[in-house]
Amino acid sequence: DGGITQSPKYLFRKEGQNVTLSCEQNLNHDAMYWYRQDPGQGLRLIYYSQIVNDFQKGDIAEGYSVSREKKESFPLTVTSAQKNPTAFYLCAVGTGAYNEQFFGPGTRLTVL
Amino acid sequence: QKEVEQDPGPLSVPEGAIVSLNCTYSNSAFQYFMWYRQYSRKGPELLMYTYSSGNKEDGRFTAQVDKSSKYISLFIRDSQPSDSATYLCAMRGPNDYKLSFGAGTTVTVRA
């Protein structure tokens, strides 16, 4: 089964905890992205990676960290420094001349 | 001012009607334009993509780009209840890796 997988689907975090969201792809694409979606707002870019062992901050990177040790995997850690982490998190891969981006099913993070 | 503006709606139409969605943008460097459909609690799925100005048709969907007006549109003909979703526009410049998204328009097609 090909595509982009994100886990878990739902995640609950206590104040002060770090949590890691998983994103895996078997599409063999180099570019991977993390977005955050809040109600009534468009997707906002957190981090992106064009190649293994390299990544860049997006528009709202504060309080987040990533790694890209394998082409297939781009995990996102939401740290305790992120003041308002409750949101829907989407991972995407990019390809093609348009850099069309294809999204995973998302992880909904709730801070208790 | 946001880089990409999109009316959030909600938009409610009867089955079979034409749905008209649009976005305006401020960055004249944008050349690649995309429309995504997002069902509730799901990831967005790519519907259509166009380059520069002009029209593109795919089945019941037509995308239009007017770069002189910085305005893009998506039309859905013969709308179905299964078209009920949030539609997001996205765009980028020639040297951008990231996409700039509109906030999304929520559409309900009534049976």
Task: Give pLDDT tens digits for A45-92.
Answer: 999 999 999 999 999 999 999 999 999 999 999 998 888 999 999 999
Does B61 reach chain A within 8 Å, measured CB to CB?
no
The two three-digit tokens of residue A83, written as one number: 């003041």
> Do residues B107 and B9 lie in contact, with contact meaning Cβ atoms separated by under 8 Å?
yes
What does the pLDDT look like over B26-77, one tens digit per residue? Answer: 999 999 999 999 999 999 999 999 988 889 999 999 999 999 999 999 999 9
What burial letters (b/e) apply to B13-32, b meaning 16+ CB within 10 Å?
Answer: beeeeebebbbbbeeeebbb
State residue A2's pLDDT score.
61
Q: B46 and A102 in contact by Cβ < 8 A?
A: yes
A46: left (phi over 0), alpha (psi -120 to 50) or beta: alpha
For residue B97, name the pLDDT band (cuts at 50, 70, 90).
confident
Helix or strand or coil: residue A8?
coil
Chain B residues touching residue A98 (CB < 8 angstroms)? 32, 34, 49, 51
> Do residues A101 and A93 lie in contact, with contact meaning Cβ atoms separated by under 8 Å?
yes
Q: B32 and A43 in contact by Cβ < 8 A?
A: no
Q: B43 and A106 in contact by Cβ < 8 A?
A: yes
Percentage above 70 pLDDT, chain B: 100
Q: Please report the residues numbered 3 through 42 in chain B whose beta carbons come closer than 8 angstroms to any beta carbon of chain A.
A: 4, 6, 8, 32, 34, 36, 41-42
Q: A98 and B49 in contact by Cβ < 8 A?
A: yes
Chain B residues touching residue A88 (CB < 8 angstroms)? 41
* Type and span of the H or E element at B107: strand B105-110
Chain A residues touching residue B91 (CB < 8 angstroms)? none
DSSP 8-state code for residue A39 = T
For residue B89, name the pLDDT band (cuts at 50, 70, 90).
very high
Helix or strand or coil: residue A69?
coil
B90: phi then psi, degrees, rounded to nearest 5: -150, 155
> Do residues A16 and A32 lie in contact, with contact meaning Cβ atoms separated by under 8 Å?
no
